[in-house]
Structure 1
């Protein structure tokens, strides 16, 4: 199983649609005893939170966020935890909004002290 997410900062590798998580968004992850949670902000996101579970290399969580436009949104995400050859962590995500129509995939990777 890839290493713990606790204390890691992850960022999207590419921008999503406007008003959603983007390359300037940062996720601060925590993990303990199969429970994962994170807070995130940056870009078009003022504040976001996620909470869920981890079983092996699979995360299953729900998220809620506030955008810079004042709108809120929530959804569900399932992610595969992958350890990259350089030792960083990547999450390969499949998500679906629950508060509005839409679904998609995204990738977030661990940010190093040098920014990526």
Structure 2
């Protein structure tokens, strides 16, 4: 399935807020990469010391698994489905539905493209 929205490759995203039950928050930054339907990102900031995600994109839907290390020294992993949209100002947004696989909990969140200065 093709998308009218551009590749995520080389884009930076930041969370809109910190969801209940999550560790990613406004201080976290995601550096996305995309090639031939494969998507991956490194992220850090806020409560997250280091995180990685890897998955696939089909049209405007991104499916991935993530693993991260928090400031308390705990690791956690989960699964996320994100839907890509374009904001009124032209930036991209990912609306996410996620669930932990390594512990109880699930929720929704959103990340938005951070434009370079």
Specify if TM > 0.5: yes
Alignment of 1:29-40 (within 5 A): 29-40=32-43
Task: Tell me the TM-score normalized by structure 1.
Answer: 0.94
Tell me how far apart the structure 2 counterparts of residues 18 and 92 of structure 1 sit (CA, whole Å): 16
The answer for the alignment partner of 2:105 in structure 1 is 102
Structure 2, unpaired ranges of 5+? none
Structure 1 alignment gaps of length 5 or more: none
The whole-number CA distance in structure 2 between the counterparts of 1:19 and 1:52 is: 20
In the TM superposition, structure 1's runs of 4+ consecutive aligned residues that sit over 6 Å from their partners are none
1:21 and 2:24 matched: yes
**Native 8 Å contact 1:84 1:90 kept in 2:** yes
Question: How far apart are the structure 2 equivalents of 1:24 and 1:53?
Answer: 25
Number of residues of Structure 1 aligned to a counterpart in Structure 2: 114
RMSD (Å), alpha carbons: 1.2
Which residue is 2:73 aligned to? Answer: 70
> Does 2:2 align with 1:11?
no
- Cα offset, 1:17, TM superposition: 4.0
What SS does the aligned partner of 2:34 have? strand
| Change in 2 beyond 3 A, CA 1:64/1:7 | same
TM-score (normalised: structure 2): 0.93
- 1:16 Cα shift? 2.7
Preserved CA contact (<8 Å) 1:6 1:29: yes
Q: In 1, are the aligned partners of 2:63 and 2:80 still within 8 Å (CA)?
A: yes
